[in-house]
Amino acid sequence: MARPIRDFHSGHLYHVFGRGVNRQDIFRCGADADRFVHLLEKYLPSFAVSILSYCPMPNHYHIGAKGPEISLFMQSVLTAYSCYFNWKYGRTGHVFERRFNAKRCFTNRHSLVLPGYIDLNPVKAGFVKHPRDWRWSSFLEIEGKSSRTIVNVEEFEQIFGSIGDYRSRMEKRLRRLAKRGSVAPANPAMSDFGDPRREEVYAFLDEIAGDVIRGKEIDARAVLQARDRSRRAWRSEFARRSRAEGISMRWIGDYLGRTKQAVMHLIR
């Protein structure tokens, strides 16, 4: 039975957000975030929805949106992205923890601070020093420095004032965050998503996976990720060998598409 479509009031702003299943990364590189943003832009004209801010992060996303068809819009975007993600990484199953979360902004103050909260996410996480350095968020588009047309700029200015006013408020918030020490030191290696060690670690894990099921399958990682009890012995051997080589359970779990707790059970 299909899930019921959630009701959204046309005149209210909603904070729409979601994260990866088991809190795993859903955007492993800049190309993944590009695809997600592209899907926002692709499906937007088909639905009665206005987007005022957005920001994909490695294992979650934030969107500020208005309109009665938010549910249908998000269903289209998340379904398309899940198909892309599973195809690209040779996996099956859920990509997102749930459909999505949506919190209505009941007060004017909540509405006014939401875009800034969304655009400041990569700064607070220590990925960049300024929102404009995170090329996948709405900030560059709001400033007129992006070719994307996702943000409804006219509606944005009606609610939040001129772009100049918004920029000034953001600069003040950045100074306050820096003064309070609420901004993590920027890590240049994180400006393109994910941990810079991922490629090296995954290449090493590919070797271990290939050795575990040598001569049996071509795509060793896809075999290990499959939800198939008959392959548990291979997964257990892979997990034990990887741990013996000093690979953390977080990395092993991310590679297999499983939680750290599941990896612990495999190693026992």
Each residue's pLDDT tens digit, 5-16: 566 666 789 999
pTM of the model: 0.71
CATH label, 13-190, candidates 3.30.70.1290, 3.30.420.10, 3.40.50.300, 3.40.50.620: 3.30.70.1290
What is the reported pLDDT for 190? 52
Closest CA to 136 of 63, 198, 66, 79: 63
Q: Which residues in the chain are classed under CATH 3.30.70.1290?
A: 13-190
Closest CA to 137 of 121, 126, 113: 121
Residue 130 tokens read as: 């300024």
Each residue's pLDDT tens digit, 153-208: 998 988 888 888 888 888 888 888 777 765 555 555 455 565 556 667 888 888 88
Closest CA to 237 of 198, 208, 207, 204: 208
Across 13-28, average pLDDT: 90
Answer whether 193's CB lies under 8 Å from 33's CB: yes
Is the per-residue pLDDT at 37 higher than 50? Answer: yes
Q: How many CB atoms lie within 10 A of CB 191?
A: 16
Is the per-residue pLDDT at 71 higher than 50? Answer: yes
State the chain's mean pLDDT as an integer. 84
Is the per-residue pLDDT at 66 higher than 90? Answer: yes
Q: How far is the CA of 207 from the CAs of 153, 212, 213, 214, 235, in angstroms?
A: 49, 9, 10, 10, 14
Is the per-residue pLDDT at 254 higher than 80? Answer: no
Q: Which residue has the tokens 């020093």?
A: 129
Across 58-71, average pLDDT: 94
Answer whether 193's CB lies under 8 Å from 134's CB: no
